[in-house]
Structure 1
Amino acid sequence: MGLEWAARDTPAPGGIVTTLVNRPNTALLVVDMQLGVVADAYRRDDVIATIAALVEKARGAGVDVVWVQHSGEELPRGSDGWPYVPELVRSDSEPLVPKEYSDAFEATDLESVLANRGIGRFFLAGAQTDECIRSTLHGGITRGYDVMLVADAHTTEDLSEFGAPPPELVVAHTNLYWQYHRAPGRKAGTVNAADVDFASPS
């Protein structure tokens, strides 16, 4: 399927289409913006500032902000690189979901956190684009959620020495393919942070 065809067939943005029942609410999901994860990330400071503004926008709209924090052999819990960057401060009332796998839904309580809040759509921001962001995009859509990627609010490090494209191309390609992603009864897509509308339809 060509992108030109997909663009014609993609529903107009706005409104929740999720296949999940009684899930009229929206959340902002922030993934793995931890010191050790984004130390060498592409556009690090810009992305952090963009996410910080998104968090305040969500709070102002009365939308849940859900934080995800990775740990594992390469990033042990309690290590110097494990905390979130200081520019992003979680409120005590906002849920924190620890994870050990790339997909934030795998072996975590993220699904119950979202279900308890009636959330059927989330906007996704964080790191790293080519691992935990991509995995969580697909993890959400396959579980029935509407999943919107905030195009200028995710990042990754330069892994080109291992054969990966440069980070700017990783980000651009992820935005490109998720913009045109489709699934029955669900909505995917991308949106710039300045254009995010957290308002849930009545």
Structure 2
Amino acid sequence: MTTLPDRPHTALLVIDVQNGVVEGAHDRDGVIANINILVGKARAEDVPVVWVQHSDDGLERDSEPWQYVSELVRRDAEPLVHKTYGDSFEGTALEALLAERGVGQLVVTGAQSDGCIRATLHGAFVRGYDVTLVSNAHTTQDLSEYGAPAPHQVIAHTNLYWQWQGAPGRRAKTVDTAEVTFTADAS
């Protein structure tokens, strides 16, 4: 139901699952395991897996914290998008890459729930994509010392509000890893 014409395909986005981003994150191992399940399923169904990797002053490119976690392995043929903003579309080639592949639906995973995940969800939605958030395949660090709620509350809130998003000709929803399908309905 995307508003993007001739874009019937779905892609899996794996956003910022980097050593320095998920170190100490809520349910880190469980989230990475769920992302691995989704990556395997996407590959088996010939669905594009698009990897997104963040860098900034606190996450220096080519450093150890900048590297993807060792539990997730990107294949050489799978696109890697480098970004410096929260929204994975801003200042990157993500939109062109998805257009080349006829992608109008996105399944979103990664980190951080209250930063780059939310920014990318909204960035995709306003650009016309149907966007599915995988409820148990995104995480965040504990930022409560800065006034944020506990990580499990941030994740729960992100899941809650995303399932109620709506706009003409687009769908937003939240599903569990086990419920994800990569059909034209974009799970």
**TM-score with structure 1 setting the length:** 0.91
TM-score, normalised with respect to structure 2: 0.98
Which residue pairs with 1:180 in the alignment? 164
Q: How many pairs are equivalent? A: 185
> Any idea what the Cα deviations from partners look like across 1:50-74, whole Å, max 9, x if unmatched?
0011000000011000000000100
1:169 to 153, 159, 183: 153
Pick the aligned partner of 1:195 from 168, 173, 179: 179
The structure 1 residue matched to 2:99, chosen from 106, 115, 120, is 115
* Alpha-carbon distance in 1 for matches of 2:97, 2:73: 19
Matched, 1:159 2:139: no
- 1:187 is paired with a residue whose SS is strand
Unaligned runs of 5+ in 2: none
2:42 pairs with 58, 65, 74, which one?
Answer: 58
Query: Does structure 2 conserve the Cα–Cα contact (< 8 Å) formed by 1:69 and 1:96?
Result: yes
Per the alignment, residue 13 of structure 1 pairs with none
CA contact (8 A) 1:20 1:120 kept: yes
Query: How far apart, CA to CA, are the structure 1 residues paired with 2:138 and 2:119?
Result: 13
Identity %: 61
Q: Which residue does 2:72 correspond to in 1? A: 88
What is the CA deviation profile of residues 164-189 of structure 1, one whole-angstrom value per residue up to 9, with x for unaligned ones? 00000000000000011101110000
2:52 to 42, 47, 68: 68
- Coordinate RMSD, CA, aligned: 0.6
Where 2:167 maps in the other structure, the secondary structure is coil
44, 61, 77: which is aligned to 2:28? Answer: 44
Q: How far apart, CA to CA, are the structure 1 residues paired with 2:184 and 2:126?
A: 21
Map Cα deviations across residues 89-110 of structure 1 (whole Å, 9 max, x no partner): 0011100000000000000000
CA contact (8 A) 1:123 1:149 kept: yes
For the 8 Å contact 1:61–1:199, the answer to whether it is kept is no
Detail structure 1 runs of 4+ shifted over 6 Å in the superposition. none
Gapped runs of 5+ residues in structure 1?
A: 1-16
